[in-house]
Structure 1
Amino acid sequence: MAVDKKDIEDVAEALGKKFDEFKEKNDKRIDGLEAEKGKLSGQVDTLNEKLSELDELKSGLEKELLALKRPDGTGSKAASEHKTAFMQFVRKGIDNGLGDLQAKALQIGNEADGGYAVPEELDRNIIELLKDTSPMRQVCNQITVGSPDYKRLVSLGGAGSGWVGETDARPATGTPTLGQISAFMGELYANPQATQTSLDDIFFNAEGWLGEEVSREFSEKEGSAFTSGNGLNKPKGYLAYEMTLENDKIRAFGKLQKLISGVAGGLTADNLIDLIHSLKAGYRANARFMMSNLTVAYVRKLKDERGDYIWQPGLTLGQPSTLLSYGVTENEDMPDRAADANAVSFGDYKRGYTIVDRIGTRVLRDPYTNKPNVGFYTTKRVGGMLVDSQAIKVLALSAE
Structure 2
Amino acid sequence: MDVIERPVLDGARDKSDGAFGGYVRSGTTVELKAFTGTTGDSGGFAVPREIDAAIASVLKTVSPIRGIANVVAVGSAGYRKLITTGGTPSGWASETAARPETATPAFVELAPPMGELYANPSASQAMLDDAAFDVEGWLAEEIATEFARAEGQAFITGSGVNRPRGLLTGPISSARDGTRPFGTLQYLASGAPGAFGPAPDERLVDLIQSLRAPYRQGACFVMNAATSARIRKIKSGDGQFLWAPGLVAGQPATLLGYPVVEAEDMPDIAENACAIAFGNFRLGYLIAERAETAILRDPYSNKPFVTFYATRRVGGCVSDSEAIKLMKFATN
State if a TM-score over 0.5 links the two structures. Answer: yes
Structure 2 runs not aligned, ≥5 long: 1-16
Report the Cα distance in structure 2 between the residues aligned to 1:262 and 1:353, rounded to whole angstroms.
27
Are positions 1:163 and 2:92 aligned together? yes
- Per the alignment, residue 8 of structure 2 pairs with none
2:299 counterpart residue number: 367
Equivalent in 224, 235, 247 of residue 315 of structure 1: 247
| CA deviation profile, 1:148-200 (whole Å, cap 9, x unmatched) | 11111010125221334456555444321111110110111111122222222
Alignment of 1:334 with 2:300, yes or no, is no
What's the counterpart of residue 49 of structure 1?
none
Distance (Å, rounded) in 1 between the aligned partners of 2:331 and 2:86: 35
SS in 2 for 1:238: coil
Letter in 2 for 1:381: R
Compare relative contact order (CA 8 Å, sep 6+) and give the higher one, 1 or 2. 2
2:28 to 76, 87, 94: 94
Contact 2:62 2:148 in 1 (8 A): yes
Task: State the partner residue of 1:13.
Answer: none
Whose helix proportion is higher, 1 or 2?
Answer: 1
Q: Is the CA contact (8 Å cut-off) linking 2:39 and 2:294 kept in structure 1?
A: no
1:228 to 137, 140, 157: 157
Q: What letter corresponds to residue 282 of structure 2 in structure 1?
A: K
Classify the secondary structure of the residue corresponding to 1:369. Answer: coil
- 1:154 equivalent to 2:98? Answer no
Q: Deviations over 1:333-356 (max 9, x none)?
A: 000011111111100011000111
Taking the aligned partners of 2:40 and 2:77, their CA distance within structure 1 comes to 13
Change (3 A) 1:318 1:206: closer
Matched, 1:265 2:194: yes
Q: Tell me which of 62, 65, 81 is aligned to 1:133.
A: 62
SS of the residue aligned with 2:190? strand
CA offset at residue 279 of structure 1?
Answer: 0.5
Matches within 5 A, 1:345-356: 345-356=277-288
The equivalences for 1:1-400 within 5 A come to 84-96=18-30, 98=32, 105-106=36-37, 109-111=38-40, 115-157=44-86, 159-165=88-94, 170-267=99-196, 268-317=200-249, 319-398=251-330
Q: CA 1:339–1:157 in 2, change beyond 3 Å: closer, same or farther?
A: same
Cα shift readout 1:208-255 (whole Å, capped 9, x = no counterpart): 111111000110110000001010111000110100111002111110
The alignment's TM-score, normalised by the length of structure 2, stands at 0.88
Q: Match of 1:240, SS?
A: coil
Q: Write the deviation string for residues 260-283 of structure 1: whole angstroms up to 9, x where unpaired.
A: 111121122222111111100111
Amino acid at match of 1:338: A
- Residue 343 of structure 1 aligns to a residue whose secondary structure is strand
Structure 1 residue identity aligned to 2:314? V
Taking the aligned partners of 1:327 and 1:96, their CA distance within structure 2 comes to 47
Distance 1:316 1:86, change over 3 A: closer
- 1:13-37 CA deviation, whole Å, 9 max, x = no partner? xxxxxxxxxxxxxxxxxxxxxxxxx
1:133 CA displacement: 1.6
The one-letter amino acid of 1:175's match is T
Contact between 1:339 and 1:399, CA under 8 Å: does it hold in 2?
Answer: no
Q: Structure 1 counterpart of 2:61, which letter?
A: D
Taking structure 1 as the reference length, the TM-score comes to 0.74
Q: SS where residue 211 of structure 1 aligns?
A: helix
Q: How many residues align?
A: 314
Q: In structure 2, how many angstroms separate the alpha carbons of the residues matched to 1:128 and 1:319? A: 17
Amino acid at match of 1:330: E
User: What is the SS of the residue equivalent to 1:214?
Assistant: helix
- Cα displacement (A) at 1:259: 1.0
| Percent sequence identity over aligned pairs | 47
Distance 1:112 1:389, change over 3 A: farther
Distance across 2 between alignment mates of 1:323 and 1:90 = 46
Secondary structure, aligned partner of 2:137: helix
Contact 2:43 2:297 in 1 (8 A): no
